[in-house]
């Protein structure tokens, strides 16, 4: 596992030192800083460099929860507290773990960190599932399916139109069609295969994509498209 950058937010000195020891005992964790109050950590959280926040639910518990909810891109969160009553709220906010202080041991803490490791692995596997391989002669092109708007025929070639750039590959829509159907794409015309997730609107003759491009719908493909889109 890569290094996980950690901050601690805890208003009790002895509890802070204990958390620092627990963090130091796990090789994959790197402590960036310890803070007495949430407000002191706002700047480092805004930097985007924090992967894990370990915090105590402080005096006004509801304010702590509101602070977590206000984060636009929150890191992983482990709550370590004496206050049992906010557990349901914490899990609703998708904190990675909620540990009551009497139960806080090195073993219990490592169990919480392992949850983060498992989540990271799942996310990486999910990202790999989204990668489509396009064969082009003796080389292979790997593109994240979520970046593709559509693919159009160019004779014995196809052009892959993505959010960032276009790619021309030596293959045909017919050869790609079956594989792409399983990846969330649909053929709407003899010249076009479209990423279903990029469709913004469908009318009788055209599909509008999220990049505002409009593509014609071929009569042969209309019923299948309508079925997939629930029309």
Domains of the chain: 4-128 (3.40.50.2300), 132-228 (2.40.50.1020)
**Tokens coding 98:** 């909620």
**Tokens coding 218:** 């071929």
Residue 60 has pLDDT above 70, yes or no: no
If 0-12 CB within 10 Å is exposed, 13-18 middle and 19+ buried, where does residue 29 land? buried
Task: Find the length of the chain.
Answer: 231
Q: How far, in Å, CA of 29 to CA of 125, rounded?
A: 22
Q: Which residues pair with 140 in a beta bridge?
A: 135
Rg over CA atoms, the chain: 25
Q: Are 50 and 64 in contact (CB under 8 A)?
A: no
Q: How far, in Å, CA of 96 to CA of 110, rounded?
A: 12
Residue 91 has pLDDT above 70, yes or no: no
Q: Which residue has the tokens 């079956």?
A: 178
Q: How far, in Å, CA of 31 to CA of 6, rounded?
A: 5
133: number of Cβ within 10 Å: 9
137: number of Cβ within 10 Å: 8
The residue among 92, 116, 87, 93 whose CA lies nearest residue 6 is 116
Average pLDDT over residues 45-53: 88
Q: Report pTM.
A: 0.55
The residue among 197, 191, 111 whose CA lies nearest residue 162 is 197
Residue 2 has pLDDT above 60, yes or no: yes
Q: pLDDT value at position 61?
A: 62
Q: Tens digits of per-residue pLDDT, 8-36? A: 999 899 999 999 999 999 999 999 999 99
Q: Are 149 and 211 in contact (CB under 8 A)?
A: yes
Q: Which residue has the tokens 């790999």?
A: 128
**C-alpha angle 173/227/179, rounded to 5°?**
30
What are the φ/ψ torsions at residue 184 (nearest 5 degrees)? 90, 25
Residue 38 has pLDDT above 70, yes or no: yes
**Tokens coding 49:** 């460099």
Q: Quick one: pLDDT band at residue 217, thresholds 50, 70, 90? A: very high
């Amino acid at each position: 596992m890569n290094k996980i950058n950690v901050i601690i937010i805890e208003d009790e000195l002895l509890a802070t030192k204990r958390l620092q020891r627990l963090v130091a005992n796990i090789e994959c964790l790197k402590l960036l800083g310890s803070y007495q109050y949430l407000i002191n950590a706002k700047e480092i959280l805004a930097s985007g460099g924090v992967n894990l926040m370990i915090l105590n639910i402080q005096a006004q518990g509801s304010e702590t929860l509101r602070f977590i909810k206000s984060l636009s891109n929150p890191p992983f969160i482990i709550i370590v507290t004496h206050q049992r009553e906010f557990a349901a709220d914490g899990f609703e906010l998708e904190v990675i773990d909620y540990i009551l202080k009497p139960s806080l041991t090195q073993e219990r803490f490592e169990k919480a960190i392992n949850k983060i490791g498992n989540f990271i692995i799942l996310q990486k596997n999910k990202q790999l599932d989204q990668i489509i391989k396009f064969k082009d002669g003796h080389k292979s092109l790997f593109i994240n399916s979520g970046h593709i708007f559509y693919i159009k025929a160019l004779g014995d070639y196809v052009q892959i139109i993505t959010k960032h750039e276009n790619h021309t590959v030596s293959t045909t829509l017919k050869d790609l069609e079956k594989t792409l159907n399983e990846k969330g794409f649909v053929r709407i015309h003899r010249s076009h295969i479209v990423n279903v997730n990029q469709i913004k609107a469908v009318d009788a003759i055209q599909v509008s994509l999220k990049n505002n491009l409009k593509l014609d719908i071929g009569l042969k493909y209309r019923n299948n498209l309508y079925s997939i889109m629930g029309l």
